[in-house]
Structure 1
Amino acid sequence: MFPEERFRRWLRRFLGRPSAVAAADSAENDEAVARVRRQYLESEQRFRALLESLPKVAVQGYDRDRRVIYWNEASTRLYGYTSEEAQGGLLEDLIIPDFMREGVVQAHRAWIHEGIEIPPEELELKHKSGELVPVFSHHVMLKEHTDDPLMFCVDVDLSDQKQAHRDLEFATRYDRLTQLPNRHTFETDLEHVLDGMRRRGVGLALIYLDIDYFVEINDALGYEQGDQLLVELSRRLRKELRSTDLLSRVSSDEFVLAFPGLHREEDVLQIVNKIHGLFKRPFGLDGHERRVSASIGVCLFPDNGGSARELIRNADVAKNRAKLEGRGSIRFFHQQLHDELVREHRLAENLERALNAQELTLHYQPQVSAISGRIENLEALLRWELPGGIAVPPHEFIRVAERSGLIHRLGDWVIEEACRQRAQWRAAGVPLERIDINVSGRQLSRPDMFERLRQCLARHGLGPREIGIELTENVLIEADERILKGLWELYHLGFRISIDDFGTGYSSLSYLKRFPVTALKIDRTFVRDAPGEPKDRAIMEAAVFIGHRLGLEVVAEGVEDERQLELIREMKCDLVQGFYFYRPMPAAMTERVLLGLVSAPNGLRAERGRALT
């Protein structure tokens, strides 16, 4: 828009002859008159062309009765009336909505009779179709002190700006894909709902839902199919909602639902089971029906939190615990979960500090021949002591390391330290075949894991038979083709690959055929109970039989007494690992045992280069 004074001058030049023209008319010089008239006409044409060339600036002129005397092309585009249709029509009949009609008429009269100007402002005026059009309207009055005042309205179309504002507001409040409220909007809406729940003294159930292995769906089928799944799930969830319920997509594959008025356990369980049941029907993806599951966390108001943010956080905590229990699990929040979360967070901080301060150590537990008692190999076991001599159980801090992402640093340290120690013992002439290292599924998920292992061995001058790896059977079952390929490459290089805790997994035995396994380690629970429990004994016998028929070495873990050892010898198990011979020991003590300088707990003594006798 142009400054008001400049626009007034332009309109006056357009509508009234300047004094120079009048002076020229009274002059006797016809040439001067013609020149002034020509200049005026050219100026008028330029100004008219300017008004007509502004596509978004609608200009209308009205007489003292508010009838149209001028209507440019932009006004036609903005309001729908042609210049011919609008000419002579009343302002209030053409573009003024009914609710504004009286106010506009009074404002126009007040300007004419009292000199009270109409201020510029944003308005919604009426299109020929009846729809409202957002504009910024500026008004100019000419000849306001005469009997023939003229009002010109300059209206700028704000449709694009308004739409952009609506789009921006939608983008900041809603999810583009599913059209559901985003996390911020959900949290705000939930807080309003909670205010009503407090006043009425009633409860609310909050459900946090996370699609299991959604990343794998995206990777396998593509993001388009993943988006299709999210849209279909949103549709199913919407169908289960009442008008008072809330639903939000809070992240890529996570949804949160709030159900006001639900507090009784049976009511909450009913709605949770209904939401869980939505996944029993397969989803149509990539032209096929695919079954999808979700982990669900549930918390209640006011029992598990008093604010929207606290409820969402606690439901998220319960959901994360559900995910750890496997696909499709449901977990209700309780305070113990939060306390565990706080403890794990502090433990992760301390673990990172311990890594930086090199406070971790490796202990070593020998694997001995079941027949001769000779030490064949060692298993490296990670140990961590807090200041004050308090030992943190490995199953606790390793779980925290996996959840916090520290497992990769932890795994790198273990590999480096085991390789360093193995090279040191070899240089010192300590008799030892191999050190086995435990590797978690999270470590295997790193693309360069196998390459880093090979580089570490090369850095310390070790061969592939001097360091082995142990994996749980569940890790193998969840392994993809990349991991399978990497394991086969290690196998062909001569690495030894053991399955740890054999018999405790949830899979079939088919992985023994697919994966390059060289040894089975029978879980200690079977060894412990086999002497007095026929079923455990039968499972052990079957595991040893299968292992030997496949050409695998079989190791019995957790051997603690003579009865267990005799049974294992009877089954012709190859190696024994357990407290009956040795507990896990620091490197210095392990070296003395390997050199035959220390007796085993049962009185046996290891001698350099000779079996235990």
Structure 2
Amino acid sequence: MPRRRDADDAERCAMRGRFVERMREGWSRALGGRRVARQRGELRAIRRLHHESEQRFRALLESLPRVAVQGYDRERRVIYWNAASERLYGYTAEEAMGRRLEELIIPAAMRRPVIEAHRAWIEQGREIPAEELELCHRSGEPVPVFSHHVMLGEHTERPLMFCVDVDLSDQKQAHRDLAFAHRFDRLTGLPNRQAFEADLDALLEQCRHRDLQLALIYLDIDHFVEINDALGYAQGDRLLIELAQRLRRHQRAGDLMSRVSGDEFVMAFPGVFRETDLRRLVDKVRTAFRRPFALDDGERLVSACLGLSRFPAHGDTARELIRNADVAKNRAKLDGRGSVQGFHQHFHDQLLRRHRLVDRLARAIERHELRLHYQPQVALVDGRLAHLEALLRWEPDDAEPVAPGEFIPLAEHAGLIDRLGDWVMNEACRQQAEWRAAGVDGIRVDINLSGSQVLGGDTLRRLEACVSRHGLCPADIGIELTENVLIAADERVLAGLRHLRRRGVSIAIDDFGTGYSSLSYLKHLPVSALKIDRTFVRDATRSAEDRAILEAAVFIGQRLGLEVVAEGVETAEQLSLLREMRCELAQGYFLHRPRPAEALLDLMRDAVVDAP
């Protein structure tokens, strides 16, 4: 029995062991199945993420409008072609698939190097560098791109090359536009000034080697600003384009032409030796203006002034020749519409002197180089000093005095006239106040105002303030204006003049008879005196016509209740004639020359003592 029990126990142990083993196997199988299931799930998730990533990547590649991406296999056959590639190169994806790179977009001259570079990358690992390339559109047109290359699986049997091409068409066009703008005038298509100078310097070098002369013509359209103001800039541009086309028709192969500024052109003609050749060139250029230009308001005849310079006589460089022809052109403009003028050295010398004078004039006030001289106006009845005209003088410390006829126009042109005018007003008022303090009263001081002073600013207001600031009354200071200024005055200026006249300021028309010469305006203008121009006084003793004009001016002024002053009296005969005409006042060298203030005090005191 014990043995049987032992055998049974052994069998039960064995059964328990097999059970445990089977349980372990079951658990193992169960756990293994779960692991496999989990691994399979993870694999599916990974594949899904990979697919989504690939889709996002493809969507990104397709969404880049100017980034063309292509994929090529080992034989450079297309395996991928995005939408940007279709737009950039003109082939659809269906057309491009399976075709070789070099057959699609590589220009003929580049095909062999491209094939060799691709092989070198696959076989030797030598990468293709990123660079700017000019590839080929389906139409044959060049396509500028920046191309970057990526190789996937380069050490496998199935390497793939991807090309990422960025379209540079806009940048290249911008560079071309910039290069054009740098060298050419956008309106006419002609070279601009900088390009013309460079081309002309190169042409001059050829002329030196071949011993050739050259003529340069500088053209400036007369009163072009009036066309722009009246018709608008579009019509002005239309005229310029048409003129450029006409001038081009007269160009020879070696000639140069440029639009150097708004309405100015320059032309260079090599091989011009004789004056007859130059005259023929001028006539050729002028033919461009013989026919009218068609504009919106109808046909319009246009003229231009021409300035001429020659190589080597008038300059050795492009800049010198252009400058000197420009100087000649400016001189031609002084002669009127359609004038022609060749360059002369004294033109440049005068221009240089004017430039230096302007520079010195700007500092003349600070250097105390300006002075006022005063010329008496004499009553012809008794020879008594009645009024004084203040005359500006410029006496530089380090040079000869400069005449007013030279520096006053310069001051107007350079924008200095207001500074000079304010100085004159202040100095005249200061001097008049000093004379009054010395007991001299009742002698008016007249000052001249230029057109640019009166028409362009608030000079009249500043004059009134200056008179008040020096403690003077309005009758102590008078002003002189030319009749042209008065005719051009708008209502604002006329209102200012009427205000001064009502306050008691004397307003005289200077140089009467030399302007518009329309007498009807006299009754409408707030004037109190006429100053008859010296040319009528000078010629009245020997010209019946000038005598009649002088007599009529005196008569009209008296009838209108105006003071009449005859200027420029230089002889006893002229003075006698004026007395015969019963002219009230006279002014001139025969009576008194302009003097500085300190030289007039005794004369003024005598006038005050002798006054009735």
TM-score range, shorter chain: 0.7 to 0.9
Distance change >3 Å, CA 515–CA 236, structure 1 → 2: farther
The one-letter code sitting in structure 2 at the alignment partner of 1:446 is G
Aligned with 2:388: secondary structure? strand
The one-letter code sitting in structure 2 at the alignment partner of 1:336 is H
Deviation for aligned residue 1:333: 1.8
How far, CA to CA, are the matches of 1:562 and 1:114 in structure 2?
Answer: 114
What does residue 79 of structure 1 align with?
89
What does residue 258 of structure 2 align with?
248
Deviation for aligned residue 1:565: 0.7
Indicate yes or no: 2:531 matched with 1:530: no
How far, CA to CA, are the matches of 1:320 and 1:335 in structure 2?
Answer: 14
Indicate yes or no: 2:581 matched with 1:581: no
What does residue 12 of structure 1 align with?
none
Deviation for aligned residue 1:362: 0.4
The one-letter code sitting in structure 1 at the alignment partner of 2:396 is L
In the superposition, the TM-score normalised over structure 2's length comes to 0.84
CA offset digits 1:98-123 (Å, max 9, x no partner): 33334333433444445443322211
**2:453 corresponds to which of 439, 443, 457:** 443
Out of 322-331 and 338-347, give the one that drifted further: 322-331
Structure 2: which 5+ residue stretches go unaligned?
A: 1-35
Question: Which structure's residues are more often helix, by fraction?
Answer: 2
How far, CA to CA, are the matches of 2:261 and 2:492 in structure 1?
Answer: 28
What does residue 355 of structure 1 align with?
365
Indicate yes or no: 2:579 matched with 1:569: yes
How far, CA to CA, are the matches of 1:507 and 1:298 in structure 2?
Answer: 38
Distance change >3 Å, CA 509–CA 167, structure 1 → 2: farther
Aligned with 2:460: secondary structure? helix
8 Å Cα contact 2:541/2:547 also seen in 1: yes
What does residue 8 of structure 2 align with?
none
Matches within 5 A, 1:84-99: 84-99=94-109
How far, CA to CA, are the matches of 2:132 and 2:203 in structure 1?
Answer: 34
How far, CA to CA, are the matches of 1:448 and 1:479 in structure 2?
Answer: 13
Out of 429-438 and 542-551, give the one that drifted further: 542-551
How far, CA to CA, are the matches of 1:234 and 1:350 in structure 2?
Answer: 41
Indicate yes or no: 2:127 matched with 1:117: yes
What does residue 5 of structure 2 align with?
none
What does residue 56 of structure 1 align with?
66
Deviation for aligned residue 1:87: 0.8
Structure 1: which 5+ residue stretches go unaligned?
A: 1-25, 597-605
How far, CA to CA, are the matches of 1:287 and 1:496 in structure 2?
Answer: 46
Distance change >3 Å, CA 353–CA 429, structure 1 → 2: same
In the superposition, the TM-score normalised over structure 1's length comes to 0.84
How far, CA to CA, are the matches of 2:182 and 2:453 in structure 1?
Answer: 38
How far, CA to CA, are the matches of 2:366 and 2:560 in structure 1?
Answer: 44
What does residue 205 of structure 1 align with?
215
What does residue 269 of structure 1 align with?
279
8 Å Cα contact 1:474/1:507 also seen in 2: no
CA offset digits 1:204-223 (Å, max 9, x no partner): 22233344555555555555
Residues matched between the structures, number:
577
Out of 155-164 and 240-249, give the one that drifted further: 240-249
Deviation for aligned residue 1:68: 1.0
The one-letter code sitting in structure 2 at the alignment partner of 1:125 is L
Deviation for aligned residue 1:306: 0.9
Out of 289-298 and 248-257, give the one that drifted further: 289-298
8 Å Cα contact 2:440/2:608 also seen in 1: no
Indicate yes or no: 2:381 matched with 1:371: yes
Indicate yes or no: 2:68 matched with 1:67: no
What does residue 332 of structure 1 align with?
342
CA offset digits 1:126-168 (Å, max 9, x no partner): 1122221110111223333444332221100001111222222
How far, CA to CA, are the matches of 1:476 and 1:233 in structure 2?
Answer: 39
Aligned with 2:310: secondary structure? strand
How far, CA to CA, are the matches of 1:432 and 1:324 in structure 2?
Answer: 44
What does residue 608 of structure 1 align with?
609
How far, CA to CA, are the matches of 1:39 and 1:232 in structure 2?
Answer: 68
How far, CA to CA, are the matches of 1:546 and 1:301 in structure 2?
Answer: 59
Aligned with 1:272: secondary structure? helix
Over the matched positions of the two proteins, sequence identity in percent amounts to 64
What does residue 4 of structure 1 align with?
none
8 Å Cα contact 2:369/2:397 also seen in 1: no
Aligned with 1:357: secondary structure? coil
8 Å Cα contact 2:530/2:557 also seen in 1: yes
Distance change >3 Å, CA 484–CA 576, structure 1 → 2: same
8 Å Cα contact 1:62/1:91 also seen in 2: yes
What does residue 154 of structure 2 align with?
144
**1:318 corresponds to which of 291, 304, 328:** 328
Deviation for aligned residue 1:543: 3.9
**1:391 corresponds to which of 389, 401, 408:** 401
Deviation for aligned residue 1:61: 1.2
The one-letter code sitting in structure 1 at the alignment partner of 2:372 is L
Distance change >3 Å, CA 509–CA 185, structure 1 → 2: farther
The one-letter code sitting in structure 2 at the alignment partner of 1:457 is V
How far, CA to CA, are the matches of 2:189 and 2:242 in structure 1?
Answer: 12
Distance change >3 Å, CA 453–CA 528, structure 1 → 2: same
Matches within 5 A, 1:397-408: 397-408=407-418
8 Å Cα contact 1:444/1:483 also seen in 2: yes
Aligned with 1:248: secondary structure? strand
Deviation for aligned residue 1:483: 5.2
Distance change >3 Å, CA 324–CA 197, structure 1 → 2: same
Higher alpha-carbon Rg: 2
